[in-house]
């Protein structure tokens, strides 16, 4: 089996003069959960559309399990399962018909379809609703049905575009546990996009941070976070950010200061947050900067995002 589930080389997509993807080099190893983290409009859906053979790239190449998404599109389609960002379900069909129809499109024999439907309905807990028309489903049920549909063909690579967007916290956690299960129990390779840090933190073995069509950094979440330093003091407020940077950086034990003035946020990385906090607060609040809120924490993926993109991750 190929080592990389998904691999792109200098992938570019342009719409007229707009560059949606700018030389993306992504590597998602087989058997892992890879999360593409980025704000809306960063190019995540465009990238997935190319990987799932819906649209061709402008230049560069992309492979799924070693198959080129343009030249070997049919091979790619046979091996992937997909859920799209928007709900793409036919409201008139029942859940069972939706799954059965999907299986028939992939030419699964009737016996296999029956068996898979029985298993998947159990997995996504739709047993009671499976024979009702989809239009009677709640948002969370529709998402679970879509997940089941993506799994009907027992794909080697599962591609999920914003799998929990618009879901309530309980349904989000449910979807997360299905995704984790699929990966752990069946060794399924999973590529998902999200604009929610907590989702990437909860699921991903590997994270790729994408912004303005560029894949800025990829790696294990723990490594990315550890590279920032041990503690971060997050300061919210307003005033002269440039001055704040100069003052704070001069304090003993402060390794780095990052700011996003538009968001009123400053991140001060230190060797020991609780020890340096008084000195930091003293220094910055005496210098024309009004502090509204201070939190002391270990760095998070959100801080990684700010570190690499220069802006905080917003919805």
Partner 1 sequence: MYATYVIWTRHMRKFVQQTEELVGLALQSVLWVVLFGVGMRGMISDVGGSDYMSFILPGIIALSALGGAVGGGMVLLDERLRGIVKEYLAAPIPRLSILLGSAASTATKALFQATLMLIVGLLMGARLAINPVGWLGALVLLAIFAIGFSGLALGVAAISRSIAGYHGMIFLFNLPLLFASNALYPLSVLPGWMQAIVLINPATYLIDAVRALAFGVEATLPLWASGLVLAVFAAASMAFALSLFQRSLRA
Q: Interface with partner 1 by CB under 8 A: which residues? A: 15, 52-56, 74, 77-78, 80, 82, 84, 86, 88-90, 92-93, 97, 101-102, 104-107, 149
Among 214, 124, 135, smallest CA distance to 163 is for 124
Evaluate the CA torsion angle 249, 254, 256, 259 in order and state its sign.
negative
Would you say 143 or 276 has its CB closer to partner 1?
143
Would you say 37 or 76 has its CB closer to partner 1?
76
Task: Name the minimum Å distance from CB 208 to partner 1.
Answer: 21
Rounded to whole angstroms, the Cα distance separating 100 from 116 reads 9
Would you say 89 or 112 has its CB closer to partner 1?
89
Task: Name the minimum Å distance from CB 94 to partner 1.
Answer: 10
Among 223, 221, 228, 267, smallest CA distance to 244 is for 267
**Side-by-side strand order, sheet with 231-239:** 254-260, 265-270, 231-239, 289-297
Task: Name the minimum Å distance from CB 52 to partner 1.
Answer: 5
Cβ proximity of 231 and 273 under 8 Å: yes
Task: Name the minimum Å distance from CB 184 to partner 1.
Answer: 25
Q: Three-state SS for 129?
A: coil
Would you say 63 or 102 has its CB closer to partner 1?
102
Residue with tokens 């993109």: 309
Structure tokens at 93: 């069909």
Among 11, 24, 10, smallest CA distance to 218 is for 24
Task: Name the minimum Å distance from CB 3 to partner 1.
Answer: 24
Rounded to whole angstroms, the Cα distance separating 103 from 153 reads 7
Would you say 104 or 186 has its CB closer to partner 1?
104
Would you say 79 or 234 has its CB closer to partner 1?
79
Would you say 97 or 154 has its CB closer to partner 1?
97
Would you say 135 or 275 has its CB closer to partner 1?
135
Task: Name the minimum Å distance from CB 59 to partner 1.
Answer: 14
Rounded to whole angstroms, the Cα distance separating 38 from 195 reads 5
Among 259, 254, 228, 255, smallest CA distance to 242 is for 259
Task: Name the minimum Å distance from CB 98 to partner 1.
Answer: 9
Task: Name the minimum Å distance from CB 120 to partner 1.
Answer: 16
| 153-to-20, 30, 98, 106, 186 alpha-carbon distances in Å | 30, 18, 13, 7, 14
Cβ proximity of 244 and 232 under 8 Å: no
């Amino acid at each position: 089996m190929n080592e990389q589930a998904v691999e792109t080389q200098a992938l570019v997509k342009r719409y007229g003069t707009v560059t949606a993807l700018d030389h993306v080099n992504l590597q998602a190893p087989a058997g892992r959960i890879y999360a593409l983290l980025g704000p809306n409009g960063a190019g995540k859906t465009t990238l997935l559309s190319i990987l799932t053979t819906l649209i061709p790239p402008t230049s560069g190449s992309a492979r799924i399990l070693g198959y080129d998404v343009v030249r070997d599109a049919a091979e790619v389609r046979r091996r992937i399962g997909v859920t799209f960002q928007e709900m793409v379900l036919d409201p008139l069909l029942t859940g069972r018909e939706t799954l059965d129809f999907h299986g028939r499109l992939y030419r699964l024999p009737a016996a296999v379809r029956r068996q898979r439907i029985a298993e998947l309905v159990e997995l996504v807990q739709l047993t009671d609703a499976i024979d009702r028309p989809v239009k009677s489903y709640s948002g969370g049920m529709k998402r679970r049905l879509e997940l089941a549909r993506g799994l009907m063909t027992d794909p080697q690579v599962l591609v999920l575009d914003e799998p929990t967007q618009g879901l309530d916290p309980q349904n989000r956690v449910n979807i997360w546990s299905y995704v984790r299960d699929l990966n752990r129990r069946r060794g399924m390779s999973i590529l998902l996009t999200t604009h929610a840090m907590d989702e990437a933190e909860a699921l991903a073995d590997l994270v790729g941070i994408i912004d303005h069509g560029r894949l800025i950094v990829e790696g294990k979440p723990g490594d990315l976070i550890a590279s920032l330093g041990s503690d971060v003091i997050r300061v919210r407020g307003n005033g002269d950010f440039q001055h704040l940077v100069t003052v704070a950086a001069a304090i003993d034990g402060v390794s780095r200061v990052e700011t996003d003035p538009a968001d009123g946020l400053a991140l001060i990385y230190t060797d020991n947050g609780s020890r340096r906090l008084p000195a930091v607060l003293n220094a910055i609040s005496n210098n024309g900067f009004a502090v509204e809120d201070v939190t002391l924490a270990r760095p998070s993926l959100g801080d990684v995002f700010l570190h690499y993109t220069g802006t905080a991750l917003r919805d």
